[in-house]
Amino acid sequence: MEITLQNIGRRFNREWIFRGIDYSFNEAESYAILGANGSGKSTLVQIVASNLSPSEGNITYTFKGEALEVENVFKHLSFASPYLELVEDFTLTEIIDFHFGFKEYLQGFDNKEIINLLGFEKYRNRCIKNFSSGMKQRVKLALAFCSSSPILLLDEPTANLDNQGIDWYLSLISRFSQNRLTLICSNQEHEYSFCKKRLNVQDYK
């Protein structure tokens, strides 16, 4: 899977957040999208995920050598962020089953294995609305990690996590980013230290 940005810009009202981004994200490589708070990192990730349209420029997706229609991009990516909402009235077991009604499991995983990965065996029947913010963030990450998709997008992946949660993330990220196009949107170096390539949004102001 490859993603190519050509002269991408985005503005809100009359203010340009960024302009003139020409960049290619290549298959099975890891990238950090950097910048200060409010610089437009999350906006760029939303554009890459096709959740937002750019105000100018074009974005193209190539899968197995063929162009991919924008409306089909969601089938090929997994996304986790602190602002992504979960269905609060579902139990942990139900939210996993719901998610994988739309995605395929990564090989070797099922509902039980994801709960084991989380270490939440005793919470399997607890409603998501009764989870702490850190527990919810872990669930979002596990759903993204364990989906069989060639693209992994993580926006501020350790937001709301305590030190134990950060260690959990760090123990898993290298494993689950293998052979996937991975984008980490962050200004915390521990979240993206493994990324060999970096794009700083502030270079495009």
85 pLDDT band, cuts 50/70/90, is very high
CA dist., res. 79 & res. 68, Å (int): 18
Residue 65 has pLDDT above 90, yes or no: no
Instruction: Return the structure tokens found at 127.
Output: 């409603």
CA dist., res. 167 & res. 6, Å (int): 37
Average pLDDT over residues 139-153: 97
CA dist., res. 54 & res. 71, Å (int): 15
- Quote the pLDDT of residue 120: 98
CA dist., res. 205 & res. 191, Å (int): 24
pLDDT digits (tens, 9 = 90+) for 10-23: 999 889 999 999 99
Contacts of 193 (CB under 8 A, 6+ apart): none
pLDDT digits (tens, 9 = 90+) for 177-191: 999 999 999 999 999
Residue 201 has pLDDT above 90, yes or no: yes
**Phi and psi (nearest 5°) for 43?**
-60, -45
- Quote the pLDDT of residue 199: 97
- Quote the pLDDT of residue 64: 87
**Phi and psi (nearest 5°) for 24?**
-125, 130
Mean pLDDT of the chain: 96
Instruction: Return the structure tokens found at 69.
Output: 């229609």
CA dist., res. 64 & res. 122, Å (int): 41
pLDDT digits (tens, 9 = 90+) for 20-62: 999 999 999 999 999 999 899 999 999 999 999 999 999 999 9
Residue 143 has pLDDT above 90, yes or no: yes
pTM, 2 dp = 0.94
- Provide the sign of the torsion angle of the four alpha carbons 117, 105, 190, 155, taken in this order: negative
CA 74 distance to own-chain centroid = 12
Kindly list the structural domains of the chain, giving each domain's residue range(s) and its CATH number in brackets, ordered by start: 2-204 (3.40.50.300)
Q: Considering the chain, what percentage of its residues have pLDDT values greater than 90?
A: 92
3-class state of residue 100 by DSSP: coil
- Quote the pLDDT of residue 47: 96
Q: What is the enclosing helix (H) or strand (E) of 197?
A: strand 197-200
